[in-house]
Amino acid sequence: MAGNSFGKLFKLTTYGESHGKAIGGIIDGCPAGIQLDFEAIQNEMNRRKPGQSKIVTQRKEPDTVEFYSGIFEGATTGTPIGFIIHNTNQKSNDYSHIKDVYRPSHADYTYDKKYGVRDYRGGGRSSARETACRVVAGAIAKQFLNGIKINAFTSSVGEIFIDKPYQDLDFSKIENNAIRCPDETIAQQMISKVEVIKKQGDTIGGTVTCVLQNVPSGLGEPVFDKLHAELGKAMLSINAVKGFEYGSGFCGAKMKGSDHNDKFNEDGSTQTNLSGGVQGGISNGMDIYFRVAFKPVATTLQKQETINSKGETVEMQGKGRHDPCVVPRAVPIVEAMAALVLADYTLLRRQESKQW
Ligand SMILES: Cc1cc2nc3c(=O)[nH]c(=O)nc-3n(C[C@H](O)[C@H](O)[C@H](O)COP(=O)(O)O)c2cc1C
């Protein structure tokens, strides 16, 4: 199976399945001498972990990360950082009813068709449990990127959305509620919506907005390795993501150039930032901001018609512990993936600078 690694110089490889013994990874290329704050790493894990509130899956995992290599006296050594997170709260019987049945819009059908072997327990390798490993690596990348601010938050749930530019939001309030929305009034509406949806045995989608501040100019390449292309790949590689837009995004397609162009100040900064901090694939020093769309989780607890591995039409009903809405847990994953891209592109820039 290809595609278990992400990044060129700051490279994360992950392993493990949802109901196996453990998941984990290797971070290769992390520079030496970063004094790690392990509490901050665990805090990021706690933001993603299941069971943290009543509006997420009730699987209870402590998601404690153990490091095996690449760290000496609390600092990175420049060698591969190996880590493991044990799976402690699997209930594999919850999945026996889908052993030979494909959940509509999940990964079951495509995975089985491609590999012919499917660990149906919890989605196996296709499970979002894998994203815990991304959060570990992202937390280390964040510490390497000291000075760059990375803030993601829930910007919509279903039809409920924050109707304000991000500049009017107080990011220190993101963690104040279970949905991770910095606008408390909207947050309560979102939480009530998820509660109603959950009671119905249904699921709902939403968006996460991410803002990257103090990113220096010069990250990214003009052709295939555009900074926004890598951010797009990073975000679209997260489970359940259906869309990515940065800067003016799809709204820009409705505008005239005369309204859309960001007028320069003499120091090279711009008066507006519809470019979203990236022009021609290269960061320009302005805030980078983007939005990621998450679909409603495929495993609803309602009865659905589907097919089994023999191609027969059958009725199925999801069981077990599932997220009614992924966005609150996706917030730290989006931040982690953004941090991995910035760490990688920072190292690429350093390497380039040496060559010039
Ligand atoms: C944080 C997070 C939690 C998720 N939890 C569930 C879940 O409980 N049940 C489920 O069926 N899918 C869940 N998903 C989505 C599936 O992993 C995803 O839909 C599946 O792997 C198929 O991939 P695709 O939707 O990207 O095509 C979750 C995704 C994320 C990001």
Report the share of the chain in percent with pLDDT over 70: 100
Give, using CA atoms, the residue closest to atom 31 of ligand 1. 239
Does residue 356 carry a pLDDT above 70?
no
pLDDT at 309: 95
In the predicted structure, residue 336 carries a pLDDT above the cut 80: yes
Alpha carbon separation from 280 to 176, 223, 337, 350 (Å, rounded): 37, 8, 21, 19
Mean pLDDT of the chain: 96
Distances (CA, A) of 285 to 224, 228, 260: 20, 14, 18
Is any atom of ligand 1 closer than 6 Å to the C-beta of 326? Answer: yes
- Residue 291 Cβ inside 6 Å of ligand 1? The answer reads no
CA distance 147 to 144: 9
CB 18 less than 6 A from any atom of ligand 1: no
pLDDT at 63: 94
- The Cβ of residue 82 has, within 10 Å, a number of other Cβ atoms equal to 17
165 marked ligand binding residue: no
107 lines ligand 1 (CB under 6 A): yes
Distance (Å, rounded) from C-alpha 35 to C-alpha 37? 7
Give the model confidence (pLDDT) of 225-261 as tens digits: 999 999 999 999 999 999 999 999 999 999 999 999 9
Taking the centre of ligand 1 as the mean of its atom positions, its distance from the CA of residue 346, in whole angstroms, is 30
Q: What is the mean pLDDT of residues 344-356?
A: 89
Q: Is 298 flagged in the annotation as binding?
A: yes
Q: What is the pLDDT of residues 154-206, one digit of tens each?
A: 999 999 999 999 999 999 999 999 999 999 999 999 999 999 999 999 999 99
Average pLDDT rounded to a whole number, residues 281-302: 97
Indicate which atom in ligand 1 lies nearest the CA of residue 299: 11
pTM over 0.85: yes
Angle at 330 between CA 326 and CA 233, to 5 degrees: 115
pLDDT at position 121: 87
pLDDT the model gives residue 120 = 87
CATH of domain 5-355: 3.60.150.10
Q: Give residue 98's pLDDT band: very low, low, confident or very high (50, 70, 90).
A: confident
Task: Assess whether the C-beta atom of 306 lies below 6 angstroms from ligand 1.
Answer: no
Q: Are 81 and 71 in contact (CB under 8 A)?
A: yes
Q: Return the best residue to mutate from 326, 329, 333, 335 for the ligand 1 pocket (most ligand atoms within 8 A of CB).
A: 326
Q: Is the CB of 331 under 6 A from ligand 1?
A: no
pLDDT of 92 higher than 80: no
Any atom of ligand 1 within 6 Å of the Cβ of 245: no
Residue 284 DSSP symbol: -
Closest residue by Cα to atom 25, ligand 1, is: 240
For ligand 1, is residue 240 a contact (CB within 6 Å)?
A: yes
Q: Where are the domains of the chain?
A: 5-355
Say whether 239 counts as a known binding-site residue: yes
Residues 14-66 pLDDT 10s: 999 999 999 999 999 999 999 999 999 999 999 999 999 999 999 889 999 99
